[in-house]
């Protein structure tokens, strides 16, 4: 089970908060002992502690991709059951995958292609423990 941390702040530049998001993520290391990574932007800070299940080399998170002038970021915990189908559909639409078989990348590219309507194409289990 991975651990995800972060926050949004529209007033403060969160790129200066690396130490805080790293400490937050560190408290979740027991949930994702295989890798820890952060992503910062002016208004968002994300931390991800990863428990590797799929694609150890390529599935690191938070994951980002650019499309035109837009940048898309994902950090999630779950399992996508129709990764292969989505990959094939997205490749037919001209997308190039940078990972071998990362379900995270398939989710991210699906959102980039279909926006919120991508939910209708996903067969997944999202994990949440409150």
Alpha-carbon radius of gyration of the chain: 15
C-alpha distance from residue 43 to each of 7, 117, 121 (Å): 8, 25, 29
Distance (Å, whole) CA 86 – CA 80: 10
Report, as residue numbers or ranges, the catalytic residues.
2
Distance (Å, whole) CA 93 – CA 78: 25
């Amino acid at each position: 089970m991975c651990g995800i941390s972060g926050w949004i702040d529209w007033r403060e530049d969160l790129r200066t908060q690396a130490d805080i998001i790293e400490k937050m993520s560190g408290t979740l290391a027991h949930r994702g002992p295989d890798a820890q990574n952060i992503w910062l932007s002016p208004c968002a800070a994300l931390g991800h502690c990863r428990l590797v299940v799929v694609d150890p080399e390529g599935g690191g998170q938070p994951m980002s991709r650019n499309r035109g002038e837009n940048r898309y970021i994902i950090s999630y915990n779950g399992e996508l059951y129709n990764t292969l189908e989505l990959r094939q559909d997205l490749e037919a639409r001209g997308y190039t995958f940078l990972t071998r078989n990362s379900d995270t990348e398939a989710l991210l590219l699906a959102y980039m292609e279909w926006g919120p309507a991508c939910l209708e194409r996903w067969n997944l289990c999202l994990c949440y423990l409150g």
